[in-house]
Amino acid sequence: MIQINNISKQYGGTKVIHIDHLKISKGESVGLVGNNGAGKTTLFSLMLDLIPPTTGNITLNDIQVNRSEDWKKFTTAFLDESFLINYLTPEEYFYFIGDLRGQNRASIDQFITQYSDFFNGEILGKKKYLRDFSKGNQKKVGIIATLIGDPEIIILDEPFANLDPSTQIRLKNLIKDLTLNREKTILISSHDINHTVEISTRIIALNKGELVKDIETSTQTLEELESFFTV
């Protein structure tokens, strides 16, 4: 599903990430953890061809991301608010993404009704542009937009940040539901190791751009990570 081969990114002589080999199989829910500057967002940016690698390559379903755009048909992501279109309302943004994914307005209207609890009455029908919403509500829109068109690979960078406790719980339940049948591959980066361990079948830890842990989650995982990050 996802294959990383000798990938590295270097800025001005400083290497910010280097991973020799990493394979993520279909249906895995992978939590990417690490301190600030560990390389989490850089890795996601490389996966999405937002930045070119210094060495190596990444393939999604055997498609090299920097040589073809065919991977975009089954991959979706929300890294930050720059993925939004600030002069659109949430409904207009959902329609825009739906159009890219071959969905008509009627199907989008039906789709977003599933997430009324997640929106908590704060998103739809407000006649507000996305730029006028709080960071947390912007994130809600971005996360739900990634689910349009039933993608196979979903990448979320710090999805729990700026969300209130109730929405964090709803998001955890949403992610668990998405991974229940193991048909979707989900990658999530987070500073919150508690949330990440709870929703992930596998944890990958980065430190200063290097892969330092790759473990299947178990009852000991949280304790192991807490011990690692407090040394």
Question: pLDDT-derived band of residue 13, with 50, 70 and 90 as boundaries?
Answer: confident
Per-residue pLDDT tens over the stretch 37-75: 899 999 999 999 999 999 999 999 999 999 999 999 999
Reference 39, options 2, 72, 10; nearest CA is: 10
231 vs 222: CA distance, rounded Å: 14
Instruction: Name the CATH code of domain 1-74+152-231 (choices 3.40.50.300, 3.40.640.10, 1.10.3720.10, 3.90.1150.10).
Output: 3.40.50.300
Residue 230 has a pLDDT of 85
**Ranges in the chain annotated CATH 3.40.50.300:** 1-74+152-231
Has residue 211 got a pLDDT over 90? yes
Residue 146 has a pLDDT of 97
| DSSP strands (E only) in 149-223 | 153-157, 185-189, 202-207, 210-216
Reference 196, options 179, 161, 172, 229; nearest CA is: 172
Per-residue pLDDT tens over the stretch 168-202: 999 999 999 988 878 899 999 998 899 999 999 99
